[in-house]
Structure 1
């Protein structure tokens, strides 16, 4: 998006009638395919796509957020067309029934797609995945975290990371970021089952790394909290619930603790949903040097986000929805990543995913095959930090 980089190869299609086709140069980055036997094994040489055919299959009438996804996606298509990428976009309302989906899949043009984005509804994932597999079409599933299809279809890209994969990434980054931690779990009066798996896995990881752990209740006083601190360690408080209710209860005492113990290293560590409470607790988050993990994040101060927000307003004469994640940004990021990738690498996209060093507005991408016969899951996780200097930092892990 920021212009060409040195050594980058871009194939721009010209209309044959008016212009002589440029001779194709050899891609300096081309490497022998490492897994061609798994994917597109019927194509002996990498194929450039003169015109990318992409389809969006989403329940537009039912869900306003699907329309937002489409709006962002259209902005990505426009950006790419301006750089000379040739694209045909097919958009269908897939409703929520399998019968509606099957009617769309019966259309002749669907078999010739290079890539399909969708569906939203769980019951449509398998039939759409089967169709994509049979016709050798990439399928990008932007929303669902569940679904076994990624495990047996090499053409599937799952954007929303399954929890178990996400958690293992978080644990690894946590122990790398805080090797000398003293972890204090803050427990709510009634357990939050939603975080049980995450907390159990984290405790296991901390134990294996020899990181000490303590537990306090959400109503603990600053004296009780002070007793858990260690001067020789980084003291990290982690609530075992992602709810705002726990934050409201625990923040006042934690804030007093930090103010009265300025020499101690103290942090509060939490969850993606904290993005929705940031406005309520912004000052406390800075004062407590808060971290949270997420695979979606944008900040209204980031230049790319400012640019996108302004462009969206111009395009649609309305403001971006303030929900997390923002679906217009998700539409832009997924559209731009895959369509740009296909324009650069064509049939060899899968072998060049790591070279796609784009800076998305909100969604991080780090794709990994789940097994030798399956597709790709997105394992990207960021840590967001609110520093005492009132800076917002997005920590990116390679």
Structure 2
């Protein structure tokens, strides 16, 4: 529901990177999070919002540039001409007889062993994707380069003659390498897939970029929307953790604002509270959702005994535990409790190791490389396979019309979901895919997809 700036009557100042048409029940908070800016920045660009609790549906708001962007660049930024956008927007579709792809990641030379092993595993997964596609008749030339550590220049790589012919580039790891690689990709009309960092704002000014890892503000906005759709009749009880709460402070604040805006009741209790006190906050007419304010394993260890006892003593109450992506790491320790508490957590990545696709990939990885993937989440081998397969399959099927048709790719990723949205009229794409994973009382694991 964002509007292209030149479709709106009257002059639009260059300080607006986009215009937003307010929908029902939207707030200053939800809109600012959707665009990755602060509430203060949104109000500064729209002074009429100051002191207003509600925004009238249908109102158009100016969406300013992120604060990190310099004043000079924001004033000079304008909606691009067609020649500045991808060729597929103005030409007939071009098919690629052979897809030329580059991988630019730190594999060697001054890179920590931990970082190097993650990058190697990502690359190993991507190689399996390339092999799978070649077996179905897709021709791919893959070029691999070692970027070296973060203080290394990429000029020697970007200066190679073959780089100007690339259709797609995967990388980099380090934030310092994003700007030069993004500028190169934009100049060459080459798609740049950034698999890891979500903290760089280059995607807002560069149509060549695909950002796999969802920026936090977009991620939280998606989670809030899915939460109120999944639990429209909720009674939310926040369990205030005694430590490790800083990481989730922004998530909790935003969720409370969203619940308040939708008149969903909520309460807060200390993590040390006794079962009898937990009983007093339950409501028979609503689903009771317990949410700890920390995602740490230590917090889970403290709260699970009381909650499990509560469920056993109040079997008629509808009770759920709701939490965070890192809970995947602790599942083995708390599996029975998660099932008993009818638990949900949100995540951009998830794989059920019992699914055929996951089993087959794990077997293939073991056969190819004679080892297991590292026990981490996300698993980088699966991330490499999913990103490689999605983009290379898409380019093989749609050619230069990939951007127009990528939502039609009927692929089921092993671990990482893809739901790309262009951030504005002249920027690139971010991945807004979020799942809820549900541990049901029937001892089933269900991945809830909201598309």
TM-score by length of 1: 0.90
Matching residue of 1:216:
269
Matching residue of 1:392:
445
Q: Is the 8 A contact 2:244 2:296 kept in 1?
A: no
Matching residue of 2:408:
355
Matching residue of 2:200:
147
Structure 1 position 259, deviation (Å)? 0.3
1:81 equivalent in alignment to 2:134: yes
Q: Is the 8 A contact 2:88 2:400 kept in 1?
A: no
| Distance in 2, Cα, partners of 1:182 & 1:38 | 47
Matching residue of 1:48:
95
Structure 1 position 41, deviation (Å)? 6.0
Q: Which runs of 5+ in 1 are unaligned?
A: 1-34
1:305 equivalent in alignment to 2:352: no
Instruction: Please list, as runs of the form range in 1=range in 2, the aligned pairs for 1:81-100 lying within 5 A after superposition.
Output: 81-97=134-150, 99-100=152-153
| Alignment deviations for residues 229-254 of structure 1 (CA, whole Å, 9 cap, x no partner) | 00000000000111111100000000
1:341 equivalent in alignment to 2:394: yes
Q: Is the 8 A contact 1:96 1:124 kept in 2?
A: no
TM-score by length of 2: 0.79
Q: Which runs of 5+ in 2 are unaligned?
A: 1-81
Instruction: Please list, as runs of the form range in 1=range in 2, the aligned pairs for 1:1-398 lying within 5 A after superposition.
Output: 38-40=85-87, 44-61=91-108, 62=111, 63-97=116-150, 99-190=152-243, 192-398=245-451
| Distance in 2, Cα, partners of 1:180 & 1:218 | 24
Structure 1 position 191, deviation (Å)? 5.8
Structure 1 position 97, deviation (Å)? 3.8
Describe the SS at the equivalent of 2:87. coil
| Distance in 2, Cα, partners of 1:337 & 1:372 | 24
Taking structure 1 as reference, are residues 42 and 283 closer, same or farther at Cα in structure 2, changes over 3 Å only?
Answer: closer
| Alignment deviations for residues 21-45 of structure 1 (CA, whole Å, 9 cap, x no partner) | xxxxxxxxxxxxxx99732268521
| Distance in 1, Cα, partners of 2:90 & 2:141 | 22
Structure 1 position 103, deviation (Å)? 1.1
Structure 1 position 200, deviation (Å)? 0.6
Structure 1 position 335, deviation (Å)? 0.1
| Alignment deviations for residues 2-39 of structure 1 (CA, whole Å, 9 cap, x no partner) | xxxxxxxxxxxxxxxxxxxxxxxxxxxxxxxxx99732
Taking structure 1 as reference, are residues 101 and 36 closer, same or farther at Cα in structure 2, changes over 3 Å only?
Answer: closer
Describe the SS at the equivalent of 1:263. coil
Describe the SS at the equivalent of 1:179. coil
Equivalent residues, number: 364
| Distance in 1, Cα, partners of 2:181 & 2:84 | 23
| Alignment deviations for residues 114-146 of structure 1 (CA, whole Å, 9 cap, x no partner) | 000000001000110001001110000000011
